[in-house]
Structure 1
Amino acid sequence: MAETTAEESRRIERLEDVTEGYGAIICDVWGVVHNGVSKFAAAEEALLSARHDGLKVVLLTNSPRPHDGVVAQLESMGFDRNAFDHIVTSGDATRDLIAKGDGPVYHIGPERDLDLFKGLEVERVPMDEASRIVASGLFDDENETPDDYRELLKDLRDRELTMICANPDVVVQRGEKLIYCAGAIAREYAALGGEVAFAGKPHRPIYELAAERIGFGEAERHRILAIGDGMPTDIKGAKAFGLDVLFITRGIHGDELNSVDPSAESVTRLLGQNGLSAQYFMPALR
């Protein structure tokens, strides 16, 4: 695995500057190829170019929805289907966790995430009847915060229910706004002493699923470049899996860097403060 300290990140101008020698790209979605409202055309073009040069491209997202829902979302933004080979979601990996468990579930999250349960032999019930919890997000992520869930989570913790978190992200950007995700609910539940199970980034199952999709075994991981903007998810997960990393700085950590075009020194310092590193960085994928 690559070093996670003392490695200075190198700023690059375009993705194509560093793709020679790699055989595949595992790329984050929200914050890298779109902002929840519209696609990033330059990122789309960069991935199209990588595929034209023979690289496999997997879009890897902590979306709690199965991959079909993410494909539909990208299509609604006009994102070119030729820019990727596969999509793997936290929802895909989470469905395996749900299927392996026993008993009915209480779902915390919006109705748009109900396809997470499609085809599974699991009953969704009120909280008093549940034997486990599935958190895919907030019921109303435009107006609620994790503080609104404090009493609910205390009640669930008192019942000693395990929570399956379908999206480990704490926040994502939707347009210019930061929106809380299921990871924020899971973090609060864990702080109360509740047990939480994860499958999405930065946890290993979702990376194993992505590598399997493109047929890259353990001996070939050095030929995979991971792209992402989230240190606790994208960067941490990729480094733990032994991948080289391209850090997109104008994402959720833009305010911490305090610059639209930060220096290599400041990027390396921020990553190092979090026990991480990245071979490359750029403000936005292009």
Structure 2
Amino acid sequence: MIDFPAGLSALTDRYDVVLCDVWGVIHNGVRNFPEACEALERFNKDHGPVVLISNAPRPSQDVLSQLDGLKVQREAWSAFVTSGDATRSLLTPRAGEKVWKIGPERDAPLWAGLDLTLAGCEDADFILCSGLYDDEAETPEDYRDRLKVAADRGLLFICANPDRVVQRGDKLIFCAGALADLYEELGGKVVMAGKPFAAIYDLALAEAERLKGGPVDRSRVLCIGDGIITDVLGAENQKLACLFVAKGIHGDKALGPDGLLAPEAVAKLLAAESVGATHAIADLVW
């Protein structure tokens, strides 16, 4: 049975650590969500560390400026780990190889300082994908022919962001995970390090242990996120509790005719992906 708390404050007696998604929970890429930021700040101050855990395909230090620009207060969190951090650990052993890099130039910190040579799909040793080159205009289908060449050559596809789509303002845009899906459809092999995969959770829990100065009781860790196949599935795989933020990328699908969260609609969204959540809420609030 899914619990439907009125806010994060109703869960403070059950959890000592929060691992919180970023995009879709505390901002939408254009503006922050003040009530969500306040809720995290209050938990972080009075109840236990908040570790932000994001599928951003750049090292966490290079994403901080975005949070600051969106006026997400630093008091709302104590540590920050990204899919980019986890991905760099996969790239380091491939020093000296040629890479077909797919993604915008803003993601350059992902491979900065690593001994990799840029190449195309015809002569690369592997693929590194952080997103679409132009996610405002392109779709995965624009990449089908080139990905088919790479898949036929047996290239490994390292996906730096498992998200399929993300909300930017009022628009949904494709992410690297959508290209990874297409690559697998074409017979290619994909490796991912972000949510819902273990590597990023290992990093996040290590940060929580550092902040608490000792071991973390996993039964008292709460994951918060709006992505069913990333945040919710990741928590389930790690056997961690999850607060599903049911609006986020799902918009009004979890709402009833009265505009309020509808438990049956939430259950339907989760069942469609064969996952379960411990708690659900429309938007993150205190």
Give the TM-score range, shorter chain. over 0.9
Q: Which amino acid aligns with 1:46?
A: A
Structure 2 segments unaligned to the other structure (5+ residues): none
Q: Conserved in 2, the CA contact under 8 Å of 1:104 and 1:123?
A: yes
Among 182, 193, 203, the alignment partner of 1:209 is 203
Matched, 1:194 2:188: yes
Q: Conserved in 1, the CA contact under 8 Å of 2:255 and 2:265?
A: no
Quote the residue 1:77 is aligned against.
70
Q: Which amino acid aligns with 2:109?
A: D
Among 247, 250, 253, the alignment partner of 1:250 is 247
Structure 1 segments unaligned to the other structure (5+ residues): 1-7
The 5 Å alignment of 1:103-182 reads 103-182=97-176
Question: TM-score, normalized by length of structure 1?
Answer: 0.93
Among 76, 89, 96, the alignment partner of 2:89 is 96
Question: Greater CA deviation, 218-227 or 21-30?
Answer: 218-227
Root-mean-square deviation (Å): 1.6
- Count of aligned residue pairs for this structure pair: 279
Matched, 1:63 2:56: yes
Quote the residue 1:264 is aligned against.
263
The alpha carbon displacement at 1:218 in A equals 7.9
Q: Which amino acid aligns with 2:138?
A: E
Bigger relative contact order, structure 1 or 2, given CA contacts below 8 A and separation 6+?
1
Q: Conserved in 2, the CA contact under 8 Å of 1:99 and 1:122?
A: no
Q: Distance in 2 between matches of 1:243 and 1:23?
A: 12
Quote the residue 1:223 is aligned against.
220
**What SS does structure 1 have at the residue aligned with 2:151?**
helix
Q: Which 4+ residue blocks in structure 1 deviate beyond 4 angstroms?
A: 216-219
**What SS does structure 2 have at the residue aligned with 1:59?**
strand
Q: Which amino acid aligns with 1:15?
A: L
Question: Greater CA deviation, 210-219 or 271-280?
Answer: 210-219
Question: Greater CA deviation, 189-198 or 211-220?
Answer: 211-220
Provide the identity percentage. 46
Quote the residue 2:4 is aligned against.
11
Q: Distance in 2 between matches of 1:274 and 1:163?
A: 24
Q: Distance in 2 between matches of 1:273 and 1:54?
A: 34
Q: Distance in 2 between matches of 1:143 and 1:258?
A: 30
